C-alpha cells in the first residue's frame, strides 16, 4: 500500500474508531476509565498530527498551484462571448460525458494497477526476497506453486487482503475521477471557445448529436488508454531514446560555439560593485569569495571544533570519498580498456572533462575555505579547552 492509501485508511479509522469506544465506555467498569482516558488522549494527538499533516500538504499544494498559474497565466486573455462559451460547453459536455475518466482508467486499471499490485504482492520475487532474506535470483528460480506456498506461509489471507484493497481503492479512484470531470469540462469549454468559431462549434455539436458522434464522444478519451495504444507508445520510446543518445555528440558540438558562463573569478572590480548593489551585500564579501576561488589554498587538515556549535559537512566528506572511489574505478578500468585513455578521446570530450575537473577542484577548495571560516567563527564564542 502507498503512503497516500495508508493515510486514507488512517483517516477512516480515526473517524470510525471513536464510536465503538463510546459504546464500550457506557458499559465499562470503573477500572477501565483510566485506559479510556488514555485512549482519548492518544486520539487527540492523532487528530492533531493529522491536522498538521493536512496543513503542510495544503501549503505544498498551494505553492504548486501558484507555480502552475505562473506557467499558464491566463490573466491577459480577452473575455469570451457568452453565446460562444455556451456552444463550447455543449461540445465539452458531449466529449466528456459522466464517467468518461473512469472508463479511461478502467483500461489502465485492469492492466496497470494489477501489474503494479503484482510487483508488491506477497508472492512476488521482490517481497519474498525481502521477507526471507534469500537472494532474489534464487527466489526467481522457484516455480509459481512454491512462491505461492511461501507467501501463504507468511500471510494465509494474502489473496483476500489484496482483493479487499482492490475493492476499497477502486471506488476511491472512481470518486476522485468524478470530481475531476466538471472542472475539466469547464476548462476545455473555455479553450474550445477560443480555438473554434461559433459556426465550427455548431457543426461539432451537430456531429455529436448523431449516433456516430455520440459513439465517438463516449469512447475517444478511453481509447487513449486502450492497451493497444499504450503498448504502441511504450514500444516507440526506446528507439527514440537511443536516437537521442546517438545524436547527443552532434548536439553538444553546436553548444560548444556558445560563450561559457562566467564565475566570480571572471568579474572585474567594477562588475563586482554592480553585483554587490544588485545583491545588497558588501562588495568585500564578493571580492573575498572571488579571491578564494581564484587562488585555492593548499589542502590542510581541518581541526574539528571542540563543541557542538559547528561540525564539518558530512556531505562534503562523502562527496570527496565518492570522488576518490570513482577515480580508483576509472584508473582500474583504464588499465583494461583503452577507451579510458584520454589520448583516444576527441578534443571536445577531453576539454569537457577537464573543465568539469577544474570546477570540481574549485568547489572542493571553496568547501575547505568555508570549513575553516566556520571553525574560526565557532572559536570566537567557544575557545578550545586547554
194 or 371, which is more confident?
194
- 93 and 217 share one domain: yes
Give the C-alpha distances (Å, rounded to integers) separating 280 from 263, 272, 276, 277, 285: 18, 12, 6, 5, 11
Angle between helices 3-16 and 158-195 (to 10 degrees): 110
Of the chain, the end-to-end C-alpha distance in Å amounts to 56
- 221 and 304 share one domain: no
Phi and psi at residue 3, to the nearest 5°: -65, -40
* In a domain? residue 15: yes
* In a domain? residue 281: no
- 238 and 347 share one domain: no
- 92 and 216 share one domain: yes
- 32 and 135 share one domain: no
Please tell me the predicted confidence (pLDDT) of residue 264. 83
83-111 pLDDT, tens digit each = 999 999 999 999 999 888 888 877 766 66
* In a domain? residue 213: yes
Please tell me the predicted confidence (pLDDT) of residue 74. 87
Cα gap 332→336, rounded to integer Å: 7
Please tell me the predicted confidence (pLDDT) of residue 173. 83
Mean pLDDT (the chain) is 76
Please tell me the predicted confidence (pLDDT) of residue 338. 63
* In a domain? residue 264: no
Cα gap 64→71, rounded to integer Å: 11
- 339 and 304 share one domain: yes
Give mean pLDDT, residues 222-227: 84
With H, G, I as helix, E, B as strand and everything else as coil, classify residue 190: helix
Least reliable range by pLDDT among 50-54, 247-251, 259-263, 311-315? 311-315
* In a domain? residue 279: no
Band (305; pLDDT cuts 50, 70, 90): very low
Listed residues 48, 71, 94: the one ending a domain: 71
State yes or no: pLDDT of 385 exceeds 70.
no
State yes or no: pLDDT of 55 exceeds 70.
yes
- 103 and 198 share one domain: yes
- 93 and 214 share one domain: yes
The domain containing residue 249 runs over which residues? 231-258
Cα gap 160→338, rounded to integer Å: 57
* In a domain? residue 266: no
- 216 and 94 share one domain: yes
State yes or no: pLDDT of 3 exceeds 70.
no
Percent share of the chain, pLDDT over 90:
19
Listed residues 44, 71, 98: the one ending a domain: 71
69-83 pLDDT, tens digit each = 888 888 889 999 999
230-249 pLDDT, tens digit each = 889 889 989 988 998 888 88
- 86 and 221 share one domain: yes
- 196 and 146 share one domain: yes
- 47 and 174 share one domain: no
pTM: 0.49
Quick count: other Cβ atoms within 10 Å of Cβ 349?
13
* In a domain? residue 221: yes
| HSE value, Cβ hemisphere, 13 Å, CA-based, for 21 | 17
111-155 pLDDT, tens digit each = 666 666 666 667 788 888 888 888 888 888 999 888 888 888 888
244-267 pLDDT, tens digit each = 888 888 888 877 777 788 888 888
Listed residues 38, 71, 104: the one ending a domain: 71
16 or 167, which is more confident?
167
State yes or no: pLDDT of 276 exceeds 70.
yes
280 or 332, which is more confident?
280
State yes or no: pLDDT of 50 exceeds 70.
yes
Please tell me the predicted confidence (pLDDT) of residue 60. 92
298 or 240, which is more confident?
240
Give mean pLDDT, residues 344-358: 76
* In a domain? residue 155: yes
Structurally, the chain folds into a number of domains equal to 4
372 or 333, which is more confident?
372
Amino acid at each position: 500500500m502507498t503512503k497516500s492509501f495508508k493515510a486514507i485508511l488512517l483517516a477512516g479509522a480515526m473517524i470510525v474508531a471513536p464510536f465503538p469506544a463510546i459504546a464500550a465506555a457506557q458499559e465499562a467498569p470503573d477500572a477501565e476509565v483510566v485506559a479510556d482516558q488514555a485512549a482519548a488522549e492518544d486520539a487527540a494527538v492523532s487528530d492533531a498530527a493529522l491536522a498538521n499533516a493536512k496543513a503542510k500538504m495544503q501549503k505544498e499544494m498551494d505553492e504548486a498551484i501558484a507555480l502552475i498559474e505562473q506557467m499558464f497565466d491566463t490573466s491577459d486573455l480577452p473575455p469570451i462571448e457568452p453565446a460562444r462559451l455556451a456552444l463550447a460547453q455543449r461540445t465539452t459536455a458531449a466529449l466528456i460525458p459522466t464517467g468518461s475518466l473512469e472508463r479511461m482508467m478502467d483500461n489502465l486499471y485492469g492492466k496497470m494497477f494489477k501489474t503494479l499490485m503484482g510487483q508488491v504482492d506477497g508472492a512476488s520475487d521482490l517481497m519474498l526476497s525481502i521477507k526471507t532474506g534469500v537472494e532474489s535470483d534464487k527466489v526467481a528460480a522457484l516455480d509459481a506453486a512454491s512462491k505461492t506456498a511461501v507467501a501463504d506461509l507468511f500471510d494465509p489471507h494474502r489473496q483476500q487482503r489484496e482483493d479487499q484493497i482492490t475493492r476499497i481503492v477502486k471506488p476511491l479512484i472512481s470518486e476522485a475521477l468524478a470530481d475531476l470531470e466538471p472542472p475539466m469540462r469547464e476548462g476545455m469549454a473555455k479553450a474550445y471557445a477560443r480555438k473554434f468559431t461559433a459556426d465550427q462549434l455548431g457543426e461539432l455539436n451537430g456531429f455529436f448529436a448523431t449516433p456516430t458522434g455520440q459513439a465517438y464522444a463516449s469512447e475517444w478519451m478511453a481509447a487513449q488508454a486502450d492497451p493497444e495504444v499504450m503498448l504502441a507508445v511504450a514500444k516507440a520510446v526506446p528507439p527514440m531514446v537511443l536516437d537521442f543518445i546517438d545524436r547527443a555528440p552532434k548536439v553538444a558540438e553546436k553548444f560548444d560555439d556558445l560563450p561559457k558562463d562566467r564565475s566570480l573569478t571572471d568579474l572585474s572590480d567594477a562588475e563586482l560593485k554592480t553585483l554587490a548593489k544588485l545583491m545588497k551585500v558588501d562588495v568585500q564579501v564578493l571580492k573575498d569569495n572571488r579571491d578564494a576561488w581564484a587562488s585555492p589554498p593548499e589542502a590542510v587538515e581541518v581541526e574539528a571544533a571542540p563543541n557542538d556549535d559547528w561540525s564539518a559537512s558530512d556531505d562534503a566528506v562523502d562527496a570527496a570519498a565518492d570522488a576518490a572511489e570513482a577515480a580508483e574505478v576509472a584508473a582500474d578500468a583504464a588499465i583494461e580498456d583503452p577507451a579510458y585513455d584520454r589520448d583516444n578521446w576527441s578534443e571536445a570530450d577531453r576539454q569537457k572533462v577537464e573543465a568539469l575537473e577544474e570546477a570540481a577542484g574549485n568547489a572542493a577548495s571553496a568547501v575547505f575555505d568555508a570549513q575553516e571560516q566556520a571553525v574560526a567563527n565557532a572559536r570566537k564564542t567557544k575557545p578550545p579547552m586547554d
